């Protein structure tokens, strides 16, 4: 948490970037969403943060670490739950795009891990 907060502070205060992208693994084992949001709110200093999900942001990863395993059908059942968590805590959906000047960024996250 401290390294993440320090990185955000460096980017927003010293480097004064226009926006930040985070390419997945916002959480570990699909937990810590409140911690993630708290750090963004406190240290991003109103700098837009665009995120996508990684394999650690899926319930399959949580099952993997506890010894439970899900098949493809089980993973798809969790997609609405993942989508809700991502939208609630990051403010973005699993897939979206945004423009900055003449550039368009297409954000495509992961909604399952090892399941295709």
Q: Each residue of 10-23: pLDDT tens digit?
A: 999 999 999 999 98
38 — phi, psi (to 5°)? -60, -45
63-114 pLDDT, tens digit per residue, is 555 555 555 555 565 667 777 888 888 888 888 999 999 999 999 887 665 5
For residue 57, pLDDT over 80 is answered with: no
d(CA 75, CA 18) in angstroms, rounded, equals: 36
**Residue of 115 and 78 predicted with greater confidence:** 78
Percent of the chain with pLDDT over 70: 74
Backbone angles phi, psi at 104, to 5 degrees: -115, 130
């Amino acid at each position: 948490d401290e390294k993440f907060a320090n990185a955000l502070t460096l980017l927003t205060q010293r480097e004064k970037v226009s926006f930040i992208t985070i390419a997945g693994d916002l959480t570990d084992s699909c937990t810590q969403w409140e911690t993630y949001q708290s750090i963004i709110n406190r240290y991003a200093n109103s700098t837009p943060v665009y995120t996508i999900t990684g394999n650690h942001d899926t319930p399959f990863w949580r099952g993997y670490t506890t010894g439970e395993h899900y098949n493809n059908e089980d993973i798809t059942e969790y997609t609405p739950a993942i989508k809700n968590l991502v939208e609630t805590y990051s403010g973005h959906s699993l897939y979206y795009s945004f423009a900055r000047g003449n550039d368009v960024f297409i954000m495509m996250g992961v909604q399952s891990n090892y399941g295709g």
